Amino acid sequence: MTGPRVLVVEHDRDCPPALVGDWLVEAGCTLEVLRPHAGDVLPDAVAADALLVLGGPMGARDDAEHAWLAPTRELVRAAVRDGVPTLGICLGHQLLAVALGGEIAVNRHGQQLGLLEVGWTAEAADDPLLGELVAGARRGVHWNNDVVTALPAGAVSLAHAPDGTVQAARHAAAAWGVQLHPEVTAEVLGPWAEDDRGSHEARGIDQARLLEDVDRARPELDAAWRPLARRFAELAERSAGGSR
């Protein structure tokens, strides 16, 4: 018997599943990666046991420039309707919020960058996906301009960033989003830093230090966030068992 299948939506070649993908495979999952940015067509519903929606440089409502975003939101709604375990990372988190009736906007506090503290809420302790991370995940990697400004009706905030914005949420009974990037390494962040080099230089941001800090924190981050993938794999396995 094979392990659970996870459908992955990748929005940009520089935003791969990376560590989260490795950890899911390590936990026994098979990944089915769709790359609509390269022409892959998204299905109307998730035929796999779980859905992972990755990050990307675009905004969650940039449909005119990225035609697959609307189908991604439809896919998310279908997954929630069907009870398929769903996880959104950064843009994926924002797409979940928008798809289910929430709102996003450019963060009025400015771009979130590098290692930031995770501000777990009281509700996080009993969460089926993130609950066991509360004791160990104290920091996470951020690289985003947009944030969720209003959660969908019935959603639960599970963590707040230092500026008070939503950092993690349970958007629906089996759908979660994290604004931070548990999947990235300093190597993955390299092209993102290059894209932002001009604006960061203008603001006096030391990109080399940011990447060095992430690299130095690798053992801490791996220990803190690998359980997210393991627990998501368990939820996917449970979903697979219920569909057989």
Q: Which of 15, 90, 93, 160 is catalytic?
A: 90
What is the distance of C-alpha 8 from the center of its chain? 11
| Alpha helices by DSSP H, the chain | 18-26, 69-82, 91-99, 186-195, 197-203, 207-216, 218-242
Q: How far is Cα 196 from Cα 238, in angstroms, rounded to an integer? A: 41
Q: Tokens standing for 13?
A: 């070649």
CA-based nearest residue to 80, from 176, 151, 172, 152: 172
Active site residue 181: yes
Exposed, middle or buried: residue 6 (CB in 10 Å: 0-12, 13-18, 19+)? Answer: buried
Of 11, 15, 181, 237, catalytic: 181
Residue type for position 167: Q
C-alpha 82/C-alpha 61 separation (Å) is 24
* Cβ atoms < 10 Å from Cβ of 243: 11
Secondary element (H or E) of residue 236? helix 218-242
Contact 52, 8 (CB under 8 A): yes
Annotated catalytic residues are 90, 181, 183
